[in-house]
Structure 1
Amino acid sequence: MTLSEKAYLAIRRDIIQGKLAAGQPLRMADLSERYAMGFSPLREALSRLQVERLVVAEALRGFKVAPLSVQEMQDAIDTRILVESDALRLSIQHGDDDWSAAIVAALYALNLQVERSIVNVWDIEARHYAFHRALLAACQSPWRLEFFERLYATTERYRIPILIAAGTPSPSRRDIQAEHSAIADAVLAHDAETAVRLLAEHYTRTAMTISARMATVAA
C-alpha cells in the first residue's frame, strides 16, 4: 500500500467517523502531524476525497471537510436506492451458491455482533457494511460496486455520528436486524421484486431517522 493510499484511507475513515468534523479546515501542517506523513501523499489523498465529495476545495484556502445537510443526505440515499436496486437485481440474477452462503455468513456475523453485551458501534458498522456489500457482490458490475462504496461512505457520515450522539447503535422503534433478515430472505429466495422493495424501505426509514435527529440537534 502506498503512502497516498494509507493517507486516503486514514482521512476517509476519520471523516466518516466524525473525528474530522463537517466544515473543519484540513491544513497540511495539521494533517502531517496527525498522520505522520509528508505533504505529497496527503495532497493526493485530499484530491481523491474531493472526487468522492467528502472534501471540498476553496480557492486560496485549501481543503476542508465537506459540510452536512439534510438535502445532501436525502439525495445520497435516494441515489443509493437507485444504484443498489439495480445491482441487487443483477446479483439475484447471477448469484451462485457461494454468493448465497456469503450473505448468510455476513448476516450471521452482524447479528452476533449486535447481540453482544458490550456494544461497539464500529465493530457493528464493519459487519453492517459487509452485509450490504455481500448482497451486491454478484452483480458483475465494478462501476455499480464503486458507486455503492462512494454512496455508502457519504451516508455513513450522517448515520454513525448521529447514532453515537444519541447514545444507541440503532434507532428506536425499529428492529433493524429483522429488516436485514427480511431482505436476505427475499434475496435468497430469488424474489427480486420483494428484495428491492424491502431494501428501499430500509433506506427510506434510515433517511427519516437521520432527518429527525438532525432537526433535534439543530434545535
Structure 2
Amino acid sequence: MKKNADKREYPASMTKVMTLLLSLEKNHPGHIVSVSHHAADVESTSLHTGEWIAVDQLNYLMMLRSDNGAATALGEYIGGNISGFAQMMNDKAHALGATNTHFVNANGMPDENHYSTARDMSVIVRYGMSLSAFRKIVSTKSCGITFTRPQTTRLLYNTNKLLFTYDGAIGVKTGWTKAAKGCLASAATRNNITLIAIVMHSATAESRFTESAALLDYGFAKAQSETQNNRSNTIGSGRRKIKAA
C-alpha cells in the first residue's frame, strides 16, 4: 500500500539512518571522537564541548535517543565537515537508487534543500536492514553508553515506541520537527516475513506510531492472504494432475 510515495517531504531524524550507514561503512567503531562546539551547540543534544566518545557509542546515542549532536559529531568526524559529509550522504543515496533525495546535514534539521520521499527512505532503510550491525542497533530498546572523557555512563531508551508495543517490531528510526511533523521508518518480522513501513508528515508525534502499525498490519494481513491463496492453488493443481493421470 502506498500514498504520495514520491512526494518530497522533510525526513527529520530519519536522516540519521543514512548517517548510521556511512558510520558503519567506514568501520571505525572504536575510534574516539572529540565533541566540537558545533556538535554540542545543535538543538536536542546531550553532548558537551570537549567530551570524548567512541564512534560506536555515538551510533547508539544517535539512533536510540535521536541525539542531533551525536549525528553532527559523526558527520564532522567521517566527512571532515558537514558539507563534505552531506556530499557522501547524497552519493550513497543515489548509488542505492534514492534519486529523489538530497541531504545537507547529518541529523535532519529542517532545510529547504534537505528532503526525501517515502519511496526513497524505504530504499535506504531496506539496505540498512540487510546489514547485521545496522539491525542490531536499530532494534535495541535500551542500553548504556560510555564516555571516554569524562568517564561516565548514560542509559538510553529508544524513542521508537513500536519496539515496545508492536509484535515483531525490529526498528527503525523516529523523526519529528515542526516542519516535518511526525516521521517514522518502521520494520517488523512475523512468520519469516519482514516488512518496512515509512510514514512522513504525520499530524502528531503519536499518530506516526498508530499509522505505521496500521500499515504493518495491512502488509502482514495481505502477505498471509497471498500465502494461503498460493497454498490453495498448489493443492488444486496437484488434485487436477492426479485426476488427469
More strand by share: 2
Structure showing greater relative contact order (alpha-carbon pairs closer than 8 Å, 6 or more residues apart): 1
Same fold (TM over 0.5): no
TM-score, normalised to structure 1, is 0.29
